Amino acid sequence: MARKFIRTCSIWRSLEVIGDTSTLLILEASWLGARRFQDLRTRTGLLKPLLSDRLKRLVAADIFEKHLYSQAPRRFEYHLTKKGRDLYWTSLMMLRWERKWAPPEGKIEIILRHRTCGAVFDPTPICSACQQEVTARDVAWAEGPGVGLMSATYSRRRRYRDMAADRPAESTLLDHVAQITGDRWASLVLRSIFTGLRKFDEICEDTAIATNILSERLSWLCTIGVLALHPYSERPARFEYRLTAKGIDYYSILLMLLQWGDTYYVSPEGPPLQLTHTPCGHELDAIVACSACQEAVQPESVSYEVVEGRPHSAPAAP
């Protein structure tokens, strides 16, 4: 069987590193202050073998580094590296999407305060050139100097998509969005649709996802309201997949994943994709800014208050 080649993509490369639900739960726990193994396990709900495996992968990928805090027995804390901290904007866009589109009942609430201006703020993706909010409809794209073909090989992973929603309700923060971003196939499907590919065969060709997996992901994305089916042929009856408002708003997450991938996994020739912010005409360099003062936010310039969620009053479904 001939090896399948597809277009290079920084989003793809980013998802190979963090496009896993259990990995995202670990990153979420780290942003909330968990450093030690047991604290990470308590916050994520992951089984010991799975947590240990994902931490090893994150250390190998230079997302975390181990700091010894006990000699007997030898025990370590896991601290984000600069590369890991550079995922902050992606995390903030995930939080922004979760706040807007996921049910809030029983979940942790995060109150963000920008130390620079003192305001409680909402993280907002803006164009660094014109300071206007970036939306999917305002971005044009073209092939960049690093475009090329790459082998469509995927590292094997079990599907842990439901893991984010299976935790106790009062300990969850990014449960809804982590199911999408942590399911690499789903994010790759959305990446294709954002570039104008809406038909099943087009998406399959672009992603090289097996047809049975692609069919399941498309069905699931429609079920959760991110995509909607639209007929484009009556005889025979054929449909294409279009983004809903909920799906369009996911763009800022993919944008930050792309920029992170361009920083750490780009080819020597340059990025495979170049984006233009059409309202101002400048090459897009998106930043995540404080909604109050429009300045870029970084971990050290933001303080936060964690308001733990309360359990649902209704009993959980069996």
pLDDT digits (tens, 9 = 90+) for 117-150: 999 999 999 999 999 999 999 999 888 888 776 6
Residues 76 and 67: beta-carbon distance below 8 Å: yes
Lookup: tokens for 293: 């003062």
Residue 150 Ramachandran class (φ > 0 left, ψ -120 to 50 alpha, else beta): beta
Can you tell me the distance from the alpha carbon of 128 to that of 277, in angstroms, rounded to the nearest whole number?
10
For residues 75 and 69, is the Cβ–Cβ distance under 8 A?
A: yes
As given in the structure block, the two tokens for residue 194 are 């954002």
pTM: 0.89
Lowest mean pLDDT among 75-84, 170-179, 238-247: 170-179
Q: Is the pLDDT of residue 5 over 60?
A: yes
Average model confidence (pLDDT) for the chain?
87
Q: What is the pLDDT of residue 315?
A: 34
pLDDT at residue 313 is higher than 90: no
- Res. 255 pLDDT band, cuts 50 70 90: very high
- Whether the pLDDT of residue 196 is over 80: the answer is yes
Q: φ, ψ for residue 230 (rounded to 5)?
A: -130, 130
Query: For residue 240, is pLDDT > 90?
Result: yes
Q: How many residues does the chain have?
A: 318
pLDDT mean over 292-301: 95
pLDDT at res. 312: 43
Start-to-end Cα distance in the chain: 44
In this structure, the number of other CB atoms found within 10 A of the CB of residue 153 comes to 9
Provide the strand spans (E) within 101-156. Answer: 109-114, 123-127, 139-143, 149-151
Better pLDDT: 106 or 66: 66
Across the range 155-172, mean pLDDT stands at 53
Give the 3-state secondary structure of residue 143. Answer: strand
d(CA 111, CA 109): 7
Q: How many CA atoms lie within 13 A of 314 on its CB side?
A: 4
